[in-house]
Structure 1
Amino acid sequence: MPTYDDDLRLAHVLADAVEPTTTGRFLADDLVVETKPDLTPVSDADRAVEELIRAQLKRTRPRDAVIGEEFENTGHGPRQWIIDPIDGTKNYVRGVPIWATLIGLVVDGEPALGLVAAPALGRRWWAAAGSGAWTGRSITSARRMQVSQVSEVADASISFGDLEEFTRTGRREQALALMDDCWRMRAYGDFWSHMLVAEGAIDGAPEAALAVHDMAALAPIVTEAGGRFSGLDGKDGIWSGNALSSNGLLHDDLLNRLTPCD
């Protein structure tokens, strides 16, 4: 199995490099926010962070492709860095501290590495294939993560994504029924739901609509913590346009419960 130690160190360097921008613009009175054609917000910080990451990758990994949220894809080849400069922009622009920079590496279509940096929470989460999943403030102050062992939905804590997307994709009634049946329902939101799954703090996190840049960094962290990350169609990985992360024990049951009726 290939190792990604150098790539993981680079991901931390990238996160370090953009943190002054993300934290400096957070709560700034002059933050510029625009609406993109898909009606989602984008701030000047989103664009500045992605430009910084792209520039550094161009210098350090010139042969690798880069896929980001805010700019056109660049490069070709089997190694793809997939970047979300600020996941949780709606939180960011409103002053809610649940947002993060997501840095993922996909090799031959398979998630190989992920780093989630949430400086407003004082936390990072990261993993590489075969190396386990870790959380802390830095590589030198980290603890290994493991998913929970909850095996019944009635005992499970579930974090749900946007109910509107469940409605749009024909899963509203299924989502509401699951909310009723699980032990505890919350919506922690965005990256944080999936990181809580990896930590074992909650047991599952379904989201009915996600882009690949929302998922590339998350999948390896969940799976290296012993969980499972798939689309709601049951296909493992990040290419289904939606996601379910879980401790693995609950995964098939949650998939079945969220299957749209014919």
Structure 2
Amino acid sequence: MALAIRAALAGASIGLSYFDRVGALDQDQKADGSIVTEADLAVEREVRRVIATARPSDAFIGEETGVAGSSNRRWILDGIDGTLVFVLGDDRWQSLIALEIDGLVEVGVAIVPSQAEVWFAQRGAGAFRQSFDSSGLIGEAKQLRTSGRTSLNGCEAGYLPPLHMVPRGVFAEVAPLLDRTAPSDWSAHAALLVASGDLDAAIQVGGKLWDYAPLGLIVTETAGAFSGADGTTHPVEGAGLFAATNELLDAVRFAIADAHQR
């Protein structure tokens, strides 16, 4: 955990240096249609460098830096998660780190550099949120708790990508939820706000391993729940569902499945 946080802080420094001049960055489009910039690669490389220096025998998989090594210990990285908002100068972008051991995610870190907040969890030890500055972590870590909500209708839910930035059709897989929940804005990734009790649920579409590995652990370590639409908990690709309780997660999944069967 200490190493993951140290790497996250190092990456945050790099990310902020690019964010200060984000308007001048070139933007490329990847094969899947998502946006990538030089900043995505630079942050991921720095995070990987810090970890590899301390754990040279560990394996890695990163959104931009790909696969390296073979080990029962694998680091899962996303240098900039939320490039869509990053390039607009929106402060909700984050960097994600997870450590998977023998196929199980044991450590998850989400750092939100522009908000000077880091969210972290270790399996069996709870999930926390703490502020940081250029010197490192500051203040006390706050343990996170979900809202505890169990009912679907009217629950406050965050949708990712932001609803106002993408066509409604992008959410075709989870569209039944839009009319049964109260779609809410999110000041940080909606899954993190589920972990802190500020939202009841979060629904993300188009996610990958590196998106869900750390966020899933952070939410489940608050007594919340996470899975793909099919109930898989790891690895998940496509739609990812985060909820305050197992009961609410089941309700979200059943609403999606029921609509698709009609």
TM tier relative to shorter chain: 0.7 to 0.9
The letter for the 1-side match of 2:3 is: L
Relative to structure 1, the CA distance from residue 17 to residue 161 in structure 2 (aligned partners, 3 Å threshold; closer, same or farther) is closer
Indicate yes or no: 2:146 matched with 1:152. Answer: no
Query: What is the rounded CA distance, in whole Å, between the counterparts of 1:100 and 1:40 in structure 2?
Result: 16
How much does 1:117 deviate? Answer: 0.6
Equivalence for 1:3: none
The letter for the 1-side match of 2:104 is: E
The letter for the 2-side match of 1:219 is: G
Secondary structure in 2 matching 1:73? strand
In the TM superposition, what are the counterparts of 1:4-83 in structure 2 within 5 Å? Answer: 8-28=1-21, 29-83=23-77
Equivalence for 1:211: 208
The letter for the 1-side match of 2:158 is: S
In the TM superposition, what are the counterparts of 1:115-126 in structure 2 within 5 Å? Answer: 115-126=109-120
The runs of 4+ residues in structure 1 deviating greater than 3 Å are 162-165
In the TM superposition, what are the counterparts of 1:1-262 in structure 2 within 5 Å? Answer: 8-28=1-21, 29-137=23-131, 138=137, 140-162=139-161, 163-167=168-172, 169=173, 171-172=174-175, 174=176, 178-182=177-181, 184-188=182-186, 192-248=189-245, 249-259=247-257, 260-262=259-261
Q: Quick check: which one's strand share is greater?
A: 2
Give yes or no for contact 2:73–2:101 (8 Å, CA) kept in 1: yes
Equivalence for 1:5: none
- Gaps in structure 1 of 5+ consecutive residues: 1-7
The letter for the 1-side match of 2:41 is: R
How much does 1:240 deviate? Answer: 4.1
Relative to structure 1, the CA distance from residue 208 to residue 33 in structure 2 (aligned partners, 3 Å threshold; closer, same or farther) is closer
Give yes or no for contact 2:4–2:51 (8 Å, CA) kept in 1: no
Query: What is the rounded CA distance, in whole Å, between the counterparts of 1:140 and 1:105 in structure 2?
Result: 25
The letter for the 2-side match of 1:88 is: G
Give aligned-pair identity as a percent: 31
Query: What is the rounded CA distance, in whole Å, between the counterparts of 2:190 and 2:30 in structure 1?
Result: 25
Q: Count how many residue pairs are aligned between Structure 1 and Structure 2.
A: 247
Relative to structure 1, the CA distance from residue 229 to residue 44 in structure 2 (aligned partners, 3 Å threshold; closer, same or farther) is same
Give yes or no for contact 1:79–1:105 (8 Å, CA) kept in 2: yes
How much does 1:187 deviate? Answer: 4.7
Secondary structure in 2 matching 1:85? strand
Query: What is the rounded CA distance, in whole Å, between the counterparts of 1:112 and 1:55 in structure 2?
Result: 20
How much does 1:166 deviate? Answer: 2.6
Relative to structure 1, the CA distance from residue 91 to residue 208 in structure 2 (aligned partners, 3 Å threshold; closer, same or farther) is closer
> Please, what TM-score do these two structures have when normalized by structure 1?
0.88
1:113-149, CA deviations, whole angstroms, 9 ceiling, x for partnerless residues?
1111101122110000011000021375211001112
1:34-86, CA deviations, whole angstroms, 9 ceiling, x for partnerless residues?
22222211111111111112222222111111010112200112111000000
Query: What is the rounded CA distance, in whole Å, between the counterparts of 2:98 and 2:111 in structure 1?
Result: 11
Secondary structure in 1 matching 2:195? helix
> Please, what TM-score do these two structures have when normalized by structure 2?
0.88
- Gaps in structure 2 of 5+ consecutive residues: 132-136, 162-167
Secondary structure in 2 matching 1:80? strand
